[in-house]
Structure 1
Amino acid sequence: MKLNLKNLSQLPAPVERPAYQASSTTQGIVHIGVGGFHRAHQAFYTDRLMNRGEGLDWAICGAGLRAEDRKARDDLAGQDYLFTLVELADTPDTEVRVIAAITGMLLAEDDPQALIAKLADPATRIVSLTITEGAYCIDDSSGEFMAHLPLIQHDLVHPDAPRSVFGFLCAALARRRAAGVAPFTVMSCDNLPHNGAVARKALLAFAALGEDQALHDWIAANVSFPNAMVDRITPMTSNAHRLALHDQHGIDDAWPVVCEPFVQWVLEDKFSNGRPAWEKVGVQFTDDVTPYEAMKIKLLNGSHLALTYLGTLAGHEFVHETMNDPLIVDYIRQYMDLDVTPQLASVPGIDLSDYKATLIQRFSNQKIADQLQRVCSDGSSKFPKFTVPTIDRLIADGKPLDRAALVVAAWALYLQQPADVRAYTIVDPRADFCRELVSDDAKLTERLLGVEEIFGKTIAQSTEFAAAFERQLRNLRTLGVQGTLHALRGNGR
């Protein structure tokens, strides 16, 4: 049965359906970057609220700025913007639910003025983002906005035909200011530290490059950028997922989303133009998201990187296969307990021991079948955010470095794509640059660790870390993953 509004009432009983009519909602959010995570997280929470009969004026209009977004728009439009969310776990109480919180989607390349008009519409009170870490155009080594990028330069020359997220936001905010309309909140849902502050810095830096300095000042004074900690493992939707949904529930969905049952959203309550009552459906509002953010990024994302390259080098395809290896699980537990946890402040309402145990369970979820390639992707952008801060602190505190150095060594060997490992594709916007760093063993350590936009200055200047990195890289090459982990556990480093 094709998923659409006409067939909604005919879906089988186990499938949860919206308790509201999409036609009774109005759009209050524009979300830029509609993908699996947005649909399993922000759209999921908004749908939950609407199912209570509340928040019906907060429906979501998707927006795509890339050519690749066309297929997503076409798939959703072909089924009245409905999609199925399928929770995957080994327990029987998982949910299959049709979500109707997204009610339209605009493509920038079709009509940039239509998107600007939508953003400038007074009904749009939140603009949310999942645009990936690198799209904020902040140089990780200097912290500066990369104004030289061609996309940014284009928008500065053609402010009425923008292509970047910052060009669109500034164009819309300029219209709102001129019309005396209150600004929208810019709400980042990307997985990076202080994501709201990063969005604010990038947007203000872009605005400062334009001719209207008063717009920069108005944004700085009036637009809110709440920080958020977001969490839900959401693997890429595969043909197997679509077929399973069809075979088990009779639903023909062109783009379902699959995810784990666990979901978390901690959000600073700093909105300039209203917000949905998401706290009624599980969102935790706070004045300061920092401790939650540090916990999640250092423990979950840092541990994900720690296992993903090792798992790939060991010949695995999925995260859960990697977690079936007791040596890797033991290594991840020690990394979390000995290297990361001592660096964390107390997190209100969270027992860190329970949180870490939950992470091991989540990584081990057999049904989610999370692809290592997905977690491996964009390493050059992930290391500065998820791993380098932990290493810098270990160096500063004079702590053992070998466990953390193994994460970097595994990435280096992964970039070399050893011939005796099952074939894989390196997914990274800077893949060629990264491969070049490890293409010659002569001065590899100096060349790789000296890249400040990835590893900063502290690592480059640490002879102790360089020695630990070389030791672990040598072990991986001579002993393999299993032998390296045995040696690491044996020497107690």
Structure 2
Amino acid sequence: MTARLSLTTLPAALQPVVEPSKIGIVHLGLGAFHRAHQAVFTEEAAILTGETGWGISGISQRSAAVREQLAPQDGLYSVLTRGLGDPSIRVIGSIREVLTAPEDPEAVVARIADPAVSVVTLTVTEKGYRAAVQGGLDLTDPEIQADLAGRAPRTVVGQLAAGLVRRAQTGAGPLTVLSCDNLVANGPFLRRLMEDYAAALPDGKSLIDELEVARFPASMVDRIVPATTDADREEAAGLLGVRDEAVVVAEPFLQWVIEDDFAGPRPGWEKAGAILTGDVAPWEQAKLRMLNATHSMLAYLGALRGYETIAEAVRDEQLAGLANELMTADVIPTLTPPEGLDLTAYGQSVLERFANPALKHRTAQVAMDGSVKLPVRLLGTIRDRLAANAEPRLAGLAVAAWMVYVAGGVDANGNPLKLDDPQANKLQATLADAGITPGLRSRGGGTSLARPAGAPGGAGGIALGATPAAVVDALLGVESIFGADLRENSVFRELLVEQVGSLTE
């Protein structure tokens, strides 16, 4: 059997430059994206600046799977980069420790409170913040309530709060908390959640005091990182000569825009290509509303047509045209571009990146967590277009596709579509109350958008078991997603009814 990647099996020329014993960063949410993004920037910064004391303590928020992948490999893993040419591979060694929060929450708090740590970064996905629909912390969330009651914290807000309180007690110094998730103004947003948590504590004064000196800069991150497959692991082993159970796959494109607002020392990320700026908002809005929104549109429309990957969906000329029109007709009119960014050219680059056939980014993976993705990716554009007395046809189509995905439950070929969403129970209950049963398939022909143009009539399609109006009224009534304003907007409702009808038969 091929030897496994480790410090002893890795050639000297490829050994990590980050000092194994020095932890300067804690990262919450040790998934593939962090390993293909912030950890790569940190490694490259160490190489270019010679500052090798910025080892990362990675915290897995759920299972021990990542620790079991990385611990036998001394924290090493590879990034397999797939572009239009031959793939390349690089071993990353900036993650020097892996902790699993459910198994040892005290160790997580202790590491955040470590005076040697000056930066905490996060990639916990939108749902990991446990926010309420109005934007603050969801104080009714049972996990938040358990942390507030004094258990060893299991939520990211609880972990940060406990770590900050301990830093105040020990004089560890102020902390920079850097969110890297796809959220509008993610830094200020996280600060507000922390303030809500502090206000709900029986004695939150020390946390409130520590929040006064902590910094919460905003940031924008961008890189496509599909789920790793067994075939990827086999290819990595062939390129490395050793077996890597933790390999991650990524596109060549890599971007990080960070608000230059830190409480203390940090790695020289700008030397590795990160953009330090006084205003992240224009970059963030362009990425969320163009790249992320288009990704979601292609995921839902592509999944309904039976496409397994985003690249397959983009190769469908009709879907590619709709994705381009979403950006040009609905999104660009709502944006103020950052200096030096041509939005039209950026939109074209987005579609080119999505079309990369070497990246097997599954539509099902992108379609996950729609209830928390739609508000930050699409609904802001919709609200802005409605406020401008414009009909958001393409952004509305993306939302309609999500509704058919949720309410239909199958693709045009009758294959089941899994609803992987933190509000799945609520959505299913809402549909059931309206008498709608997902999982139906029509027998007839028709040329709906849910089926590839030109498909034979016998291919079938999506049947909702209810009228488009019933589906729209049921799902639009989920206030935790759409709020009261969109639920009551007759223009938006009528648009959705028309488009749900066009997606079905």
Structure 2 length as normaliser, TM-score?
A: 0.89
1:75 corresponding residue in structure 2: 69
Are positions 1:145 and 2:137 aligned together? yes
Q: Which residue of 2 aligns with 1:3?
A: 5
Deviations 1:117-165 (A, max 9, x none): 221110011111111111212112x223111211111112225x22222
Counterpart in 1 of 2:348? 357
Give the whole-Å Cα distance in 1 for the aligned partners of 2:347 and 2:395: 17
> Counterpart of 1:398 in structure 2: which amino acid?
N
Aligned partner of 2:455 in structure 1 is: none
Shift of 1:21: 5.8
Determine if the alignment matches structure 1 residue 113 to structure 2 residue 98: no
Determine the structure 2 residue equivalent to 1:98.
91
Match of residue 17 from structure 2: 20
Determine the C-alpha separation between the residues in 1 that align with 2:358 and 2:269. 28
Secondary structure (helix, strand or coil) at the match of 1:143 reads coil
Partner AA of 1:3 in structure 2: L
What RMSD in Å do the two structures reach over aligned CA positions?
1.7
Q: Which residue of 2 aligns with 1:158?
A: 150
Cα 1:121/1:248, change in 2 over 3 Å: closer
Distance 2:194 2:250 in 1: 31
The answer as to whether partners of 2:77 and 2:91 remain within 8 angstroms in 1 is yes
Query: Which residue of 1 is the match for residue 333 of structure 2?
Result: 342
Q: Would you say the 8 A contact 1:18–1:51 is kept in 2?
A: no
CA contact (8 A) 1:226 1:267 kept: yes
Amino acid across the alignment from 1:27 = I
Asked if 1:378 is matched to 2:369, the reply is yes
Instruction: Give how far 1:276 is off.
Output: 0.9
Q: 1:320 aligns with which of 296, 311, 332?
A: 311
Select the residue among 118, 121, 133 that pairs with 1:128: 121
Deviates more, 1:369-378 or 1:417-426: 417-426
Counterparts of 1:389 and 1:166 in 2: how far apart (Å)? 25
| CA deviation map 1:167-195 (0-9, x unaligned) | 22222211211222212111111111111
Q: 1:85, CA displacement in angstroms?
A: 0.4
- What are the equivalent positions in structure 2 for 1:414-429 lying under 5 Å apart? 414-415=405-406, 416-418=408-410, 420-429=413-422
2:220 and 2:283 in contact (8 A); partners too: yes
Deviation, structure 1 residue 106: 1.6
Q: Per the alignment, do residues 216 and 174 of structure 1 end up closer, same or farther by CA in structure 2, a change over 3 Å counting?
A: closer
Alignment of 1:295 with 2:286, yes or no, is yes
- Distance in 2 between residues matched to 1:170 and 1:56, nearest whole Å: 28
Aligned length: 467
In 1: Cα distance, 2:240 partner to 2:54 partner: 29
Query: How do 1:34-45 residues align onto structure 2 when only pairs under 5 Å count?
Result: 34-45=30-41
Partner of 2:494: 467
Contact 2:120 2:178 in 1 (8 A): yes
The farther-off stretch of 343-352 and 291-300 is 343-352
Deviation at 1:447, TM superposition (A): 2.0
Aligned match of 1:484: none
C-alpha deviation, 1:224, in angstroms: 0.3
Identity %: 36
Contact 1:22–1:100 (CA under 8 A) maintained in structure 2? no
| Shift in Å, 1:406 | 1.4
The equivalent residue for 1:182 is: 173
Aligned to 2:272: 281
Partners of 2:377 and 2:136 in 1: CA distance: 19
- Give 1:259's aligned residue: 250
- Does 83-92 or 279-288 show the bigger shift? 83-92
SS in 1 for 2:57: strand
Residues 432, 150 of structure 1: alpha-carbon distance in 2 compared, 3 angstrom cutoff: closer
- Contact kept, 8 Å, 2:78 with 2:244, in 1: the verdict is yes
Report how far residue 19 of structure 1 moved: 5.9
Counterpart position of 2:481:
454
* Matching residue's letter, 1:165: V
Looking at structure 2, the residues matched to 193 and 111 of structure 1 have their Cα atoms a distance apart, in angstroms, of 31
Q: 1:457 to 1:472 in 2, by over 3 A?
A: same
In the alignment, is the contact (CA less than 8 A) between 1:437 and 1:444 conserved in 2?
no
Amino acid at match of 2:256: W
1:313–1:421 Cα contact (<8 Å) kept: no
Residue 489 of structure 1 corresponds to which residue in structure 2? none
Cα separation, 2, equivalents of 1:346 and 1:408: 24
Q: Secondary structure at the match of 1:456?
A: helix
Q: CA deviation at 1:71?
A: 1.3
Moved more, 81-90 or 100-109: 100-109
Q: What amino acid maps onto 2:244 in structure 1?
A: D
1:205-255 deviation per Cα after TM superposition (whole angstroms, max 9, x unaligned): 111111323224313310100000011110111112111212344330011
Aligned to 2:58: 62
Task: Give the Cα–Cα distance (whole angstroms) in 1 for the partners of residues 211 and 58 of structure 2.
Answer: 25
TM-score by length of 1: 0.91
Q: For the Cα contact (< 8 Å) 2:31–2:60, is it kept in 1?
A: no
In the alignment, is the contact (CA less than 8 A) between 1:58 and 1:276 conserved in 2?
Answer: yes
Where structure 2 has 5 or more consecutive residues not aligned to the other structure, the ranges are 437-465
Distance of 1:101 and 1:245 partners within structure 2: 19
Shift in Å at residue 31 of structure 1?
Answer: 0.6
Q: Which residue number corresponds to residue 310 of structure 1? A: 301
Aligned residue for 1:230, secondary structure, equals strand
- Which structure 1 segments of 5+ residues have no match? 11-15, 479-493
Once the 2 structures are TM-superposed, how far is the Cα of residue 385 of structure 1 from its aligned partner? 0.7
- Displacement of 1:83 in angstroms is 0.2
Shift of 1:18: 4.5
Q: Distance in 1 between matches of 2:385 and 2:485?
A: 11
Q: Does the CA-based 8 Å contact 2:288-2:377 persist in structure 1?
A: yes
Give the CA deviation at 1:460: 1.3
CA distance in 2, matches of 1:75, 1:243: 15
State the Cα deviation string for residues 381-407 of structure 1 (Å, max 9, x = none).
101110011111111112133322211
- 1:450 shift after superposition: 2.0
